[in-house]
Amino acid sequence: MQLILHGTGAGIPSAERCASALTATFSNGAVVLFDAGEGAAQAMLRDGVDLSHIITVAISHTHADHWCGLPGLLTALAVAKRKSPLTILAHPTALAFLQQSALHSHLFPERLSFAIEWKPLAPFALPDDWRCLPIPNTHLHQVEALAERAGVCPTAVSFLLEKNGVEAVYLSQDLGSEEDLRGKLKGCSLLVCESAHVNLQAVVEMAELAGVRRVVFTHIPPGLLTVPASTPAVQVIAATDGYSVQVE
């Protein structure tokens, strides 16, 4: 499985970094996209990903920097006359909103050359016997009551990618704090962790205690980011757009 971080920026726009988007590519060429921030389609093309190979898009939450590239991606697939179905996964409330965004982009099902399967986010199978488990986190807890009152999505999730006999991968997406990682990293060899809402040193220490061998920081705000030094046990990397990592 090859992971590519197409967008390593945070919510504040950056001239150097695109918004959140990460793909996992499998041995059969199939691609799964985790979050689709602004310009996701262009960023994937820049990094050599064939948009026609995307089989699933999973959205962690509805902050704009994690989803607003989805209508553009769907438009690109429609213009290209895609034939194979595409699955889009999100929290049920978010799913209804994302469907409306597609309709307001005039992506009417009757006119599309491919079917979109809109499904509530739940554990789902990936190629090569991998599996993805959405893990709720506290990123939206401060606005949860307001979100529920407004009828909008109150939930954010991280993604755990696991395969029997292979060390797992944790994609933090946006967190409430580093405490969302506590007790979640056992068995993981790689943590791709956002850097905008956490204490970076605490994340590295937590990863080391859990046996994680590599921490890749992403979701980086504009300006200079100073990451903790690598340790003998944990390699620490500040990702840039297009950063790629192979998971055996």
Q: Look over the chain and give the mean of its residue pLDDT values, rounded to a whole number.
A: 96
The secondary structure of the chain as a DSSP string is -EEEEEE-B-SS--SS-PPSEEEEE-TTS-EEEEEE-TTHHHHHHHTT--GGGEEEEE-----HHHHTTHHHHHHHHHHTT--S-EEEEE-HHHHHHHHHHHHHTT--GGG-SS-EEEEE---EE-GGG-EEEEEEESTTGGGHHHHHHHTS---EEEEEEEETTEEEEEE--S-SSGGGGTTT-TTEEEEEEESSSS-HHHHHHHHHHHT--EEEEESBPSS---PPPP-SS-EEEE--TTEEEE--
Q: According to the model, what pLDDT value does residue 248 have?
A: 79
User: Residue 17: is its pLDDT beyond 70?
Assistant: yes
User: Residue 13: is its pLDDT beyond 80?
Assistant: yes
Return d(Cα 174, Cα 152) in angstroms, integer.
18
Over residues 140-160, the mean pLDDT reads 96
Over residues 108-119, the mean pLDDT reads 98
62-71 residue pLDDT tens: 999 999 999 9
Q: According to the model, what pLDDT value does residue 224 have?
A: 65
The encoded tokens of residue 171 equal: 């994609």
User: Residue 85: is its pLDDT beyond 70?
Assistant: yes
Q: Could you tell me if 6 and 36 are in contact, meaning their C-beta atoms sit under 8 angstroms apart?
A: no
89-98 residue pLDDT tens: 999 999 999 9
Q: Could you tell me if 93 and 67 are in contact, meaning their C-beta atoms sit under 8 angstroms apart?
A: no
Q: By residue range, what is the domain housing residue 138?
A: 2-246
193-206 residue pLDDT tens: 999 999 999 999 99
Q: For residue 127, which of 51, 55, 47 has the smallest C-alpha distance? A: 55
158-214 residue pLDDT tens: 999 999 988 999 999 999 999 999 999 999 999 999 999 999 999 999 999 999 999
Q: What is the CATH number of the domain that holds 67?
A: 3.60.15.10
- Annotated catalytic residues are 65
For residue 244, the cross-strand partners are 4
- With cut-offs at 50, 70 and 90, classify the pLDDT of residue 226: confident
User: Residue 108: is its pLDDT beyond 70?
Assistant: yes
Domain count, the chain: 1
Return d(Cα 235, Cα 172) in angstroms, integer.
17
33-61 residue pLDDT tens: 999 999 999 999 999 999 999 999 999 99
